[in-house]
Amino acid sequence: MDMANPPKTATLSIDGESYDLPIMSPTDGPDVVDIRKLYAQAGVFTYDPGFTSTAACESAITFIDGDKGVLLHRGYPIDQLAAQSHYLEVCYLLLYGELPSPAELEDFENRVTMHTMIHEQMHNFFRGFRRDAHPMATMVGVIGAMSAFYHDSTDINDAWQREVASIRLIAKMPTIAAMAYKYSIGQPFVYPRNDLDYAANFLHMCFSVPAQDYKVDPILSRAMDRIFTLHADHEQNASTSTVRLASSSGANPFACIAAGIACLWGPAHGGANQACLEMLREIGTVDRIPEFIARAKDKNDPFRLMGFGHRVYKNHDPRATVMKESADEVLELLGVDNNPTLQVAKELEKQALADPYFAEKKLFPNVDFYSGIILEAMGFPTSMFTPIFALSRTVGWISQWKEQLSDPALKIGRPRQLYTGEVARDYVEVSKR
């Protein structure tokens, strides 16, 4: 035992009985009280709907200090990664724990590039959807269906198959998202081009048509790459926890990622980027901002300022800071820096931050506040915003999935409950009710 740092314990007292609970110390962040044996010893559960105070797993991938506005991937600050690295390098970092050597990076990029095409038979699967299907609906279905197409990478107990599934998902996600988009607008699917980098290839698959040449603007592909990087992982958020919970039962990786996509879709999570842009459009002009701020503060109105607030960040969201700079750059490049939506966004941010309601509740703009403005300026419809988030977050989901599977302490996720229903009673025949 380390005599200088004896193990810490917390003591819980229930009805005069004391229970010592071990305290686990992280490399950074708050200590964690280990309650795993609490039910066996004291016969009580803990209650924490929404997991506001519960660490559901051990992880060495991403760290957030919400009070200071810090986000680190494997120890590296997100602003440094966004400015100096690029998406596929960040993917490598998240998946394998260290920045790659030049040879490792080249090998990784080759492996991803060689898996960008999807099984040709999957094209028919797309065609089964209605044209007006939301691309997220198509993606939930198609990613889940990958388990029916790639049988040689569904065995989670085989390390090689886990690796192949990881590369396949990262490589094919842009192809699938672009196909969902093309299908929704009635244009032909565009095959990936392996001479383009990851972000440029995605823009090519979304915006080129067989009838004419399309050249990817390098500044736009850099902005696209930065959007991917800023969304790559975010600790134990709702969709990542969904992937972990699905995987804890031993489900195959494609099924788990489809579950993550479904969770991401909600407007409180990844769907906020679409909802935010729709809100900015609805506000329309800066003179209407006070009306919407008043609605957001009104407890009798369910309306919330989309793109504002975060469960963990009680200070600025470091991703939003980079995203705002990127929005300015892209809009200037495209000559739309007097875009009315951007004007409304900037003024809304200013007025909300000056309002005591938002200050007291520590509500700041989050990553979704500015991303939609850039994506719209690039030519994406709002329905594509959340699929772009999903394709960016895939690497985070996979890294966390792989980490969980290699954890010897892995158990099926099985929360308990505070039961508030009827106690046992006798069945009454229908004629007697």
Task: Tell whether residue 48 is a contact of ligand CMC (CB under 6 A).
Answer: no
**Judged by CB, which is closer to ligand CMC: 151, or 311?**
311
Instruction: Return the residues of window 277-296 that contact ligand CMC according to CB under 6 A.
Output: 296
SS (HEC) of the chain: CCCCCCCCEEEEEECCEEEEEEEECCCCCCCEECCCCHHHHHCCCCCCCCCCCCCCCCCCCEEEECCCCEEEECCEEHHHHHHHCCHHHHHHHHHHCCCCCHHHHHHHHHHHHCCCCCCCCHHHHHHCCCCCCCHHHHHHHHHHHHHHHCHHHCCCCCHHHHHHHHHHHHHHHHHHHHHHHHHHHCCCCCCCCCCCCHHHHHHHHHHCECCECCCCCHHHHHHHHHHHHHCCCCCCCHHHHHHHHHHHCCCCHHHHHHHHHHHHCCCCCCCHHHHHHHHHHHHCCHHHHHHHHHHHHCCCCCCCCCCECCCCCCCCCHHHHHHHHHHHHHHHHCCCCCCHHHHHHHHHHHHHHCCHHHHHCCCCECCHHHHHHHHHHHCCCHHHHHHHHHHHHHHHHHHHHHHHHCCCCCCCCCCCCCCCCCCCCCCCCHHHC
Which positions from 253 to 272 touch ligand CMC by CB under 6 A, shown as an x/- string? ---------------xxx-x
- Taking the complex as a whole, the smallest distance from the CB of residue 327 to ligand CMC amounts, in Å, to 16
Residue at shortest CB range from ligand CMC: 309
181 Cβ contact list (under 8 Å, min separation 6): 135, 206, 380, 381, 384, 387
**In whole angstroms, how close is the CB of 402 to ligand CMC at the nearest point?**
22
Distance in Å, CB of 387 to ligand CMC, minimum: 13
| CA separation for the pair 89, 372 (Å, rounded) | 24
Instruction: Answer yes or no: 269 catalytic.
Output: no
Region 358-387 residues binding ligand CMC, contact defined as CB under 6 A: 361, 363, 366-368
Tokens of 347: 């003024």
- Nearer CB in complex with ligand CMC: 183/385: 385
> Interaction with ligand CMC in 295-354: which residues (CB under 6 A)?
296, 304-311
Binding pattern for the stretch 220-249 against ligand CMC, x by CB under 6 A and - elsewhere: -----------------x------------
CB 308 within 8 Å of CB 273: no
Of 241 and 399, which has the nearer Cβ to ligand CMC? 241
Indicate the residue type of 236.
Answer: Q
Residue 217: CB minimum distance to ligand CMC, A? 27
Has 225 been annotated as catalytic?
no
Question: 222 or 304, CB closer to ligand CMC?
Answer: 304
Catalytic residue among 67, 368, 407, 426: 368
Shortest distance, CB of residue 307 to ligand CMC, whole angstroms? 5
Amino acid at site 261: I
Closest separation between CB of residue 306 and ligand CMC, Å?
5
Catalytic choice (115, 134, 231, 310): 310
Residues in 200-219 that interact with ligand CMC by CB under 6 A: none
Identity of the residue, 118 or 296, whose beta carbon is nearer to ligand CMC in the bound complex: 296
Task: Rank residues 126 and 385 by Cβ distance to ligand CMC and give the closer one.
Answer: 385
- Residue 286: CB minimum distance to ligand CMC, A: 19
Judged by CB, which is closer to ligand CMC: 134, or 310? 310
CB of 176 to ligand CMC, least distance (A): 20
Alpha carbon distances (Å) from 3 to 6, 8, 33, 303: 5, 12, 21, 55
What number of chain residues touch ligand CMC (CB under 6 A)? 19
Nearer to ligand CMC, 222 or 297 (CB): 297
Residues with catalytic annotation? 310, 368
Q: Given the rule CB under 6 A, which residues bind ligand CMC?
A: 237, 268-270, 272, 296, 304-311, 361, 363, 366-368
